[in-house]
Chains A and B, each alone.
Chain A
Amino acid sequence: MKTKKLISIIAAVVMLAAISSTAFAAEPVMPDKDGNVSIGKEEVTIGVEGLVEPITLAATCNIGTYLSIDPNQPEGKQFVSPVIAVTNDCNAPITLYAVGMKATGNAPKVVDNDKYNERGWSQLNRTQTYANIALGLLDAGRGGINMWFAEESEQQPIALCNIAYQGQQTMTLQAKFGRAWSGGESFKYGMTVKISLQQ
């Protein structure tokens, strides 16, 4: 019985000693003024030099788009426009803004989509048809982009979506227009987008 007690006491003392020494070794070691760190009696130099490259914004965008209107097609199939893509080429998520859509050449000017009601758009005469068009963007996938550009002189950046790093956003045009065309017409529009690092 005495032997057992003695062994227990010795074991407890050994454990306490072990815990104390471990705690002592775990104390933080601060680097000196040169950034070197000393551990124990032998000095070990871990000189660490770092260069943090600034984050680079990089993207590939369409700077223009085309549309075609064929008045001889059935309603709903008269307007055709290709897919527009914005690709995030940097390693951080970005936010995409639509800044503006402007006519080039003899293309009808972009106006507010509510300048005419639905019936009004379909009843524009030839002069009005060639002078007015409402354009907007729709998500080509399943996203939620559905916007209309304001009149050309009043366009402001509108946040469209966030694009993950190395990701891509695709969109198509939506339009409201008159019906009094002389024939099938194709027009080019300058589109400006803006990107920023996602906040």
Chain B
Amino acid sequence: MHNETNIPPKTDRASRWRETVIIALAGLLLISLSLLVVNKYIFVNGSAVRPLFIIPEAGGEVFDGMLPTDNPDEVLKLLQEKVDKNQFAFRINANPVFTSDCKHGNLRIENPARNIYAMQVELILDETGEVLYASPLILPNQYIENAGLSRKLTSGNHAATARFVAIHLDTDAYMGEVAAAISLNVGK
């Protein structure tokens, strides 16, 4: 019983050893972490470097959702407005009657006031493609009542095409054209 009190207990020695090991491991861990930090931010191959990725602040450049494309409906609306402005109206006698010498006929050509373009009219003989009449410039809200042909035709009916050319009022540029099938009636 007396001997037992002089010998230090085994449990005290074991716990002291465990404490020593834990302190040693903690020290090693601290040293390792320090080395990692130093390696990443300060020294690689003996020279100072910056980190691989420097990510700037968003600054309002990044948006949520899918990359937007032009909305087809909005594009269509814009194109429709353009097309609607490009309408061109005309009026002409479908069966103008010419005197036998073809120097006078009631063509009755009108450039309606609602048009935004001036108009120039050609009468083309369908049989030959010959231009029988070329009008001067007709502004919107102007008309030609009578005109003559460039040459005499035989009496009777002649199929012809009236070609209406739209001309820009400011630039004189060609803007487009429409056509009408008419019949020239030449008297005896």
Contact = CB atoms under 8 A, between A and B. Distances in A.
A194 B80 contact: no
B89 A57 contact: no
A57 B90 CA distance: 8
A80 B92 contact: no
Given A57-B182, A61-B87, A82-B79, A192 B96 contact: no
Given A55-B94, A195-B181, A73 B72 contact: yes
Contacts of B25: none
B-side interface size class: 35 or more
Interface string B49-80: 00000000000000000000110100110011
B180 A80 contact: no
B90 A80 contact: no
B175 A64 contact: yes
Interface string B164-188: 0010000000011111111000000
DSSP majority for the B interface? strand
B69 A65 contact: no
A184 interface: yes
Interface string A174-192: 0000000000101000111
B79 A59 contact: no
A62 B179 contact: no
B176 A190 contact: yes
B157 to A, nearest CB: 13
A77 interface: yes
B180 A57 contact: yes
A69 B70 CA distance: 11
Contacts of B87: 60-63, 85
Contact of B161 (A56, A82, A194): A194
Interface string B91-121: 1111111000000001010100000000000
A99 interface: yes
Nearest to A60: B89
A149 B72 CA distance: 25
A82 B76 contact: yes
A196 B181 contact: yes
Interface of B: 69-70, 72, 75-76, 79-80, 82-84, 86-97, 106, 108, 110, 161, 166, 175-182
Interface of A: 54-68, 70, 72-73, 77, 80-85, 89-90, 99, 184, 186, 190-197
30 contacts: A54-B97, A54-B106, A56-B93, A58-B91, A59-B178, A62-B83, A63-B86, A63-B87, A63-B177, A64-B83, A67-B79, A68-B76, A70-B69, A70-B75, A72-B70, A77-B72, A80-B75, A80-B79, A81-B76, A82-B82, A82-B84, A184-B70, A186-B79, A190-B177, A192-B176, A192-B178, A194-B161, A194-B179, A195-B178, A195-B181
